[in-house]
Structure 1
């Protein structure tokens, strides 16, 4: 990921003295405010009609239709249900290419916001019919990027170069049975090629003061691994545990050991690490010790070598626990998202750009890392990029007590949507204005 920094740094150092006129931030602000009502309308439509990962058929059609109406070139079916829009400036100047990204998928969550446009949709997840809701703000992401596309399409005679709009499916991870999630699949299908993208920017609404923008250089959001453990013993009567092999007892020891490994062998002040066992499934009757127990969990890390070492030690420890009881263990790890690594030079360059539209005191480019994950990281593995957060808590509500992303009560303060349109649009314009 750092390999791209040196080449980008040389170009970014020239930005202090641009060779040609910059688009005024005021023009972007005025244009964004002009589409604000439409962006809110789009967000509400998307919120009421959510779709799960790789099932975003109607969402993708909605996006493609609006992009075409803006005069933007459209490629559909990129990464299964992904959409790519290409806007070519007609002004004179450098011919850089920059990308802006939004994710489209919803979650298997029963919405409890009470909004008049709350979701009543259902979908299929793991073979079951489940409620579906935009409990992570992706409806807002799509609406803001569409708003930026409309702003920028109306300014194409004021910039040179090309802007690529990436509307990505399946950010929440590969659905069961799928080999990869949306970002990887879009990259595989050429989302960053033809035209070849030089840098990419993305944002995410999260609990935070309305109007605030925050991120950090280098490791910002954790790498995420799914962990699956299967324990096999020997079934027996609950009254005679010694006549079988008690996998429930083994599972208890495994959970305790995983928690201890994380808490007692890693310095949390240097590399935050979370290893959570979140599901335990075993047995069907109160007085039968079952033959098998399965567990699953998540591992969040910021250091690749440390992650690999922890996985190695956890697998060895679990094997030893199972062996002590006479059981066997199978241990599997699958990455859901790589580390969100914000290019250092691009991160430093972006702060004053964001301040132009967010205002002084509203941009924090040195926020602490967060253990939630994002597959935007895979785009950053290919090209330099910066991912930032947009505070979207309701007015007068303490962000610390606001419903978090993935909660049934999660909602987005619609007053901040226009700021997301502005940050998207100006970051693209300023990048294209590089000498």
Structure 2
């Protein structure tokens, strides 16, 4: 009830689509979508900024984006869109029907925040808290999803204002839980698809933007093919036989076996897979075992992550990890139980779609502000959409031009900062992708 009341107050306080089309758009733009550079008005840009600041001040954790999704749904309804709510818990989908026949284009924004205490000095800094793994924690939009939501709300407002000109339909996907669902829950893009997202409308292409502190404001990083890594979690339980530390021959030492497994697993990438095909990394992040200095325990627990850029190599690593752990343990009379939790797949941009939309992207930001991004070993659940339909995902720089992006606080940092000049760029990019796609495909 408290969340509902707060959400209602927020909806009343934030200005939605109350302005005219002439006020929301640049009426001097060429009306030929394949040649135009659709630009938003200063008034709409200011609303996007206000939405962003409000969302930043009221962040919500994964699958708990109640206020955010309420604001989004109310905005889309006010624009006259067909709105579906409560998909994958808090997801919102809006459909804008074009006046003329054509393809369906999907634009996606993620909504969730992180369990991070904000350390910036912006006047709209978050002081919010939420429940995470059974305890109250500070919450911050430390990955810029507030910008993503605000930009897509702005794009929806602009495009709804020119509905009579549109060829085909536009699907606005506001997705929860990109950062990962709470323990014991499903969420994110995978659950949206599982609950029938593409039954609402099956897009011919999906576009997404992620703000990027490692880039200068307004610069766009793109890449054909693999862009972001898959992310998978594994755990290994090494089962030995407890004995006194003074007589290790009386048992089976799982600590020694675990250390051998850690070393041997590193040879999977360095010696057993074709790294010229795609990079990969296997890292251990947790090693737990033992209760006393002179007792050899009966069990050691290992946990780690697998990242790579090729689905075949991904499967190969899964198989080799299991075999390596089991055989290493068996050589010492121990046992290894391996569990692999498949996470996000590789985020793969359609080369054809990227090529076709490059003229639009260059026109909006300028060729000099476009660069080919390096592979990123972080992961994104936008990848699930890319498994279903041709997709394009890019990085939008948000570090002011007078600062060094390489020294900027990274995404997920408590000092994460976004230059709000990037909001116009991202909003206009989403708009123009949607307008140009029918002619570009």
TM-score normalised by the shorter chain: which range applies?
0.7 to 0.9
Asked if structure 1 preserves the Cα contact closer than 8 Å seen for 2:87 and 2:192, the reply is yes
Matched, 1:385 2:377: no
Alignment map for 1:32-431 (pairs within 5 Å): 33-90=42-99, 93-178=100-185, 180-206=186-212, 207-364=214-371, 366-431=372-437
Aligned length, in residue pairs: 410
Say which SS state the counterpart of residue 29 (structure 1) adopts.
coil
- Cα distance in 2 for residues equivalent to 1:41 and 1:275: 42
Shift of 1:321: 2.2
**2:368 alignment partner, SS class:** coil
Q: CA deviation at 1:287?
A: 4.3
For residue 32 of structure 2, what is the aligned residue in structure 1?
21
Q: Deviations over 1:38-78 (max 9, x none)?
A: 21221122122222221111111121122222222211011
Say whether the 8 Å CA contact 2:311–2:345 is kept in structure 1.
no
CA displacement 1:354-374 (0-9 Å, x = unmatched): 11111121123x433221111
Q: Say if 2:284 and 2:303, in contact at 8 Å, map to a contact too.
A: yes
How far apart are the structure 1 equivalents of 2:346 and 2:380? Answer: 8
Contact 1:208 1:399 (C-alpha < 8 Å) held by counterparts: yes
> What are the Cα deviations for residues 272-327 of structure 1, in whole angstroms up to 9, with x where unaligned?
11111112222344444433222221111112222222221221111122223332
CA distance in 1, matches of 2:293, 2:120: 37
Query: Please, which moves more after superposition, 269-278 or 144-153?
Result: 269-278
Q: How far apart are the structure 1 equivalents of 2:245 and 2:55? A: 51
Paired with 1:114 and 1:246, the residues of 2 have a C-alpha distance of 52
* Alpha-carbon distance in 1 for matches of 2:54, 2:244: 55
Contact 2:60/2:139, CA 8 A, preserved across alignment: yes
Deviations 1:366-412 (A, max 9, x none): 43322111111111111111111111223322222222222222222
Q: Is the 8 A contact 1:56 1:81 kept in 2?
A: yes
Is the Cα contact below 8 Å between 1:159 and 1:432 reproduced in 2? no
Distance, in Å, in 2 between the alignment partners of 1:297 and 1:154 is 49
Deviation per residue, 1:190-247 (Å, 9 max, x gap): 2223333211100111121211112111111112211111222233444544444332
Return 5+ residue gaps in structure 2 as ranges: 1-30
What is the deviation of 1:94?
3.0
Instruction: Using the TM superposition, name which of 343-352 and 47-56 deviates more.
Output: 47-56
Per the TM alignment, residue 84 of structure 1 is displaced from its structure 2 partner at its CA by 0.2
- SS of the residue 1:428 aligns to: helix
Which secondary structure does the structure 1 equivalent of 2:93 belong to?
A: strand
Q: TM-score, normalised by structure 2?
A: 0.87
Deviation at 1:433, TM superposition (A): 4.2
- What TM-score comes out, normalization by structure 1 length? 0.88
Deviates more, 1:102-111 or 1:125-134: 125-134
Quote how far apart the aligned CAs of 1:107 are.
1.9
How far apart are residue 88 of structure 1 and its match?
1.6
Please identify, of 78-87 and 239-248, the stretch whose mean Cα deviation from structure 2 is larger: 239-248
Deviations 1:317-344 (A, max 9, x none): 1112222333221111122111111112
Distance in 1, matches of 2:246 and 2:420, equals: 59
Paired with 1:262 and 1:156, the residues of 2 have a C-alpha distance of 52
Question: Which sections of structure 1, spanning at least 5 residues, go unmatched?
Answer: 1-19
